[in-house]
Structure formats: structure tokens, C-alpha cells
Amino acid sequence: MQFEINRKWWKEKVVYQLYPRSFKDTNGDGIGDINGIIQQLDYIKNLGVDVVWINPIFESPNEDMGYDIADYKAIMKEFGTMADFEFMLKGLHDRGIKLIMDLVVNHTSDEHPWFKESRKSRDNPYRNYYHWWDAEKGTPPYRWSIFDKENNAWKYDATTNSYYFHIFSEKQPDLNWENPEVRNAIYDIMKFWLDKGIDGFRLDVIACISKDINFPEMPKDMHVSKWFPYYAQGPYLHDYLQEMNREVFSKYDCMNVGEMSFVTTDDALLFVDEDRNELQTFYHFDHTGVGISQENFMYADASNWDLVAWKKIFYNWDKVFAEKGWGTMYLGNHDMSRMVSRYGNDSETFREVSAKMLHTFILSMRATPYIYNGDEIGMVNTNHTDIEAYKDVYTINYYNQLKQKGEDHKGFLLSHAKISRDNGRTPMQWDDTNQSGFSNTTPWLAVHKNYTSLNVAAQEKDPGSVLNYFKHMVQLRKEHLTLVYGAFELVDESNEQLFAYTRTLENEQFLIVLNFSDTPAQLNTTIQINKENILISNYEQPCKNNNYEPYAAVIYKTRK
Ligand code: NOJ
């Protein structure tokens, strides 16, 4: 099929997500820092990636690991100085790598000067920067909070006898986007960083910036999956995004990606249809529910794995962007457990092969691929079952709440351990020296005990490693525009073990076959497969007697 491709640089890049706290510590405080990133710039370059998305590095008391910002124009002291930042940015640019920063503007820290002012008096000029409910109106309508110690999104503040609103923890008060001063202040912050030379933003919980600020009563027994309409995609969301585009994005050649919880395939194009001048891309969560309880997202539940349904999710999303807009592709990030533990198999037998299979998947889809640091070597979950091992406010507050209520907090942790966010935040495993070469002291979060065998240094030396496979796959994506823009079609879609699809652009076609199971599987297709035309595979012989090996991945060239 012949069709027009609308080429854009940000569609063709491979993004590496870097969690700075856990990347590399150079000043011996057990916390990663910007100098650590500077030391590893050549490592990043050698991965072949083109863009780094760095998690928040702004001044913050770290209630939520930087997603609670106290000063948007200053670098967090634990991470370094503005001069370090500028040096890092130059180092990335010198290597042809772009940098996108995390814009957390649904809320600030309660230690941000805006909030400190806002809470001083009811007539403070910053009062209207946040959402306040005066106590004489009575208790505010019930609102569920995701990180709060009691899941209550309203916090009483005695100084002004009022409550303030916070979707996340009480130290993360929500900004009032209906106030134009707030919006202008944020556009000013964005321009400050873009003028410094950064290349764009990842927009944290951006769907939440517009919400119904009449705060209608929320049913107490409402399922957690239903709470978002009360906080997200409010009446002015598209107006705000268009304004942000007009005021900021349109003035720079930059990239953006929104974190878009609860977006559907029906309303997706409202955000990324180029003619609407809002965002370029966003990431949704539809495929990430696997392995998580649908009753309560804090619990693991492997029983809901259904490959056929999962394939359909990717298929439906691909179709949305077939002609307009553009998608993103990821399996791991700092809010998730490790992709190999979740979608692959982290046993000694299958860890490496399944990690390679997942890289083949991420890097052969029609969407901008995002790789989370550590996944390039196939790092796995720690699955801790003692609360002392955790640093995540989300896990800790929920655990304490259950404990206080006399509920099954131990059982909770046994289940939650498999999906907790801290699984994905353990320090990078650079080598087999003490603390995995991450730090010379006890790190803020313990290193995974498998670091002596699973580390960058070992994998760099091994041509068959996950790391080298990843780099090879990145190169193949760059060499073949078909892997970026080619049409995507499922093959043998009812197959319960294999995820197979074609990517076709003009005369070139690839068939990608991925075994998502630990047993051999047969592919049902009429496509002519020539075993001589293998572009890449994680096995020397991925298919024996018509059966694809467990976790096999193979890309065949089937045309041209
Ligand atoms: C989404 C971020 O990815 C997550 O880490 C954070 O806790 C929440 N937003 C709140 O900012």
C-alpha cells in the first residue's frame, strides 16, 4: 500500500528515560547526581538513543521523589548546580542527543513559595493559585486522594480555617489552572528552560490540570478506576493545551509528550491531531493493567494476562494514529515494576531471552519508543516484602493505612511487592563492585542483589548480551524507515502465545514474530517466510520444526 508519510524528527527518535536519583552517584551521598550522568554520557551515546527524558531534577523536598517541586528554576541540591546542568546539556548536545525535562505543573510542593504565600491569609495575592475550601461552608465534598495517608484529598489548614485540595499527597497541593496568573507563570518557566536550550518536556499528569472545581460529591464506594473524571479532562483542558502551544511550543522546535491517564481511543486525536495545535504525543496506560488487580491497583494479579486482548489494545491504538497524530511505545518507567518481570520472565532461564524479545517489540512498533534506564540490560524486580525496604510514599502510606485500620497489611505487601514502583527505581547496575558501581556508600534505595552477574560492564564485553542486542535493535530501527512509519497489521491474531505482525512501507515488508510464553508455539500464516532473510533474532535458530522457541523474537524481511 502506498501512503503519504508525514516525517517529523520526534517520530524517528529513540528516547531513553533516565531516573537521575538512581543513575550514578559521584559525591558519595548515595543519591545519583548530574555529575554521574556527565560521567556516563558516552555510555548513553553508545546506546544509540537520540533523546533523554530526565525525571524531575528541580529543587524539591522529595516527598514524591521530585514530583513535588519547590523551585522550578533551580536544580535540586542533591543533584548538583545549574552549572552542572548546563555542562550536562552541552555534553548531550555535543553528542547529538536531545534533552526533555519533566514538567510537573498539576501541583507544586507545599514548600513552594507560591503555596507558602497562599496559605498565609485568605486575601494573599497567591491565594487563588491553589484550590481552597473555607471551613464555614462545612466539610468539603468527599474526594479520594491517591497518595494521602487517609486517601483524603482535602487537607485542613488551621491558619486560614480552610481546606486545600491535593490529588496526590498532602505535600503536593494542586495548582488552580483557572487562574491566568498561574498559567502565565508556568509558560514563563517553560520558556526559561527552553531558552536554556532544552528540547522539550514530558508533561506530568497533564490531563488533571483542568478539573471540575465545583467539586461535586464523589460517591464514597466508587471504584478507584472511576475517579479520574472527577479530576481529569475537565472543561478547559483543550483550551489550556492550545494556549500552551500558542504561548510556548509553537515558538520552539521542541518535542512534547503528555502523561495522559484515562484517555480513550475515541478522544485521542483531540490531543494530537496536528491541526488542533495541542500536543505532539502522549502516553496512555491501557496495556499496563496486565498483572495488576482491577479491583485495587495496589495489588498484583497475574491472572488477568490475556495476550489476545493485549494485542488488540496495541492494534486499536495503532489504528488511531494511522493517518493523523502519533503514538508512543513503552513497557517500563519509574512508575512501574521492571518490564522483564512483568511482561517477560525474570527466571534465570528466560530473563535474557525475554528481555531481548521485549526490546524487539518496543523498537519495531509504529510509535516513538521509550526505554527506561536499566531495561537495556534487563534489570528485574526486587519484590521486597518488608516495608523498611520501601521509599515510595505511595506504598508506605497505603501500607500504614491498612495497618492502622487493622487490615491485612502484610498480605498487601506480599502482593504489592510484584508491582511496586520501587522495583523500577533501584540503582543502575554498572559493574560487580560494591554497590554495583552506582555509589561508594549505602544508596538511598538498595541495589538489587543480582548485580554481581547482571551489570553493564559484563554485558558490554559479551556480544550476546541483552545490552548489545538492544543496541543492535536501535540501529536497525534507524536503518529502516519501515520500522518507524510502516503500516502495522496483526498476523494470526487469535494466537494465545505469539504476538506477530507485519510492518510495511512501499515495497518493503517485515514480519515480526514474538513468543510471549515459556513454551514453543506455532504461527499460523500464509506469508512466505524465508529463513535466510532474518534481520535479527534472539536465538540462533528461533523456529525449530515449525515451533517458535520460548520467548523467541525474530524479524524476517518478507518483501523487497
Ligand atoms: C506521575 C509521575 O510519573 C509519578 O511518578 C508521580 O508520583 C505522579 N505523577 C505525581 O506527580
CATH class of 486-559: mainly beta
387 alpha carbon – ligand 1 mean position (Å) = 21
What pLDDT is recorded for position 382? 98
Domains 113-165 and 486-559 are alike in CATH topology: no
Tell me which residue has its CA closest to atom 4 in ligand 1. 335
**Pairing mode of beta strands 508-515, 498-505:** antiparallel
Pocket test for ligand 1, best of 171, 335, 370, 397 (most atoms within 8 A of CB): 335
Pocket test for ligand 1, best of 104, 328, 333 (most atoms within 8 A of CB): 104
Segments making up each domain of the chain, as ranges = 113-165, 486-559
Q: Which three cell numbers stand for residue 208?
A: 488533571
Mean pLDDT of all residues in 63-82: 98
Residue with cell 535493535: 473
Q: Which three cell numbers stand for residue 220?
A: 464514597
Which DSSP letter does residue 356 get?
A: H
* 19 Cβ below 6 A of ligand 1: no
* 278 Cβ below 6 A of ligand 1: no
300 alpha carbon – ligand 1 mean position (Å) = 19
Q: Report the distance separating Cα 294 and Cα 387, nearest Å.
A: 23
CATH class of 113-165: alpha beta
Tell me which residue has its CA closest to atom 6 in ligand 1. 67
Q: Above 50 in pLDDT, residue 1?
A: no
Q: Which helix (H) or strand (E) holds 340?
A: helix 339-343
Q: What is the pTM of this model?
A: 0.97
Residue with cell 487469535: 494
CA dihedral 403, 231, 206, 337 (to 10 degrees): 30
The closest-lying atom of ligand 1 relative to the alpha carbon of residue 104 is 11
C-beta separation of 218 from 144 below 8 A: yes
Residues involved in catalysis: 204, 259
Mean pLDDT of all residues in 533-548: 97
Q: Above 50 in pLDDT, residue 24?
A: yes
Pocket test for ligand 1, best of 148, 204, 208 (most atoms within 8 A of CB): 204
pLDDT tens across 236-259, in order?
A: 999 999 999 999 999 999 999 999
- Contact residues for 164 (Cβ-Cβ < 8 A; gap 6+): 118, 119, 130, 131, 132, 133, 154, 155, 157, 173
pLDDT tens across 197-207, in order?
A: 999 999 999 99
C-alpha torsion sign, points 477, 481, 487, 492: negative
